[in-house]
Amino acid sequence: AFTDYLTDLPNRRAFFAEIERRARRRSGEPFHVGLIDLDGFKPVNDSFGHRAGDAVLREVAHRLKAKELGWIGRLGGDEFGRIVEGGADLAQIGRRICGGLARPFPLREGTAQIGASIGFARYPDAATSPEMLLERADFALYHAKIHQRGTAVSFAPEHEERLRDIAMIEQALRRADLAAEFDLHYQ
């Protein structure tokens, strides 16, 4: 129930349980949650087939298992999670992970080339609840994919401001009477 069948890594449920366990520690030691999303994975499945895609995911898991880089789990699809102790050098870890996943993946069908983007959030600085911590890491990942694909981005105060702006816009759109407030003109 706590292991991903394809990669033999801890699964989503185990990953969330580990975050909660660390957040409940009495010592309050900081740690980082990293969300790793593969860049260019869909074309592997489309070009080489799902069996080749599964082989790439197994190799990704193998490359991510480096013990000195922290606790790793597969969250589903082409997304992985990493938990790293608080004093770790995230820039170096991010470079090692992204560099390791940018190396070619030899397959029977050919060679696959992918990359990875990572979003990190620090407990308790970015958030004190596991849910908010994951939300912050996810926002940092989104920022990496949009602005710095193939790199690791740590959640920062300016991201918090952007999250608030997005939330305000979403709430305004939910309250809006779009039929009454917009006039469509076609060109």
Neighbours of 149 (CB within 10 A): 14
Q: Is the peptide bond before 124 cis (omega within 30 degrees of 0)?
A: yes
The catalytic residue among 4, 8, 78, 138 is: 78
Cα torsion angle, 45, 148, 158, 88, sign: positive
Q: Which amino acid appears at position 141 of this protein?
A: L
Neighbours of 84 (CB within 10 A): 22
Angle, to 10 degrees, between the axis of helix 157-175 and the axis of helix 130-147? 100
144 close to 117: Cβ distance less than 8 angstroms: yes
Q: Is 138 a catalytic residue?
A: no
Q: Which two tokens stand for residue 33?
A: 């949650």
- Residues serving a catalytic function are 78
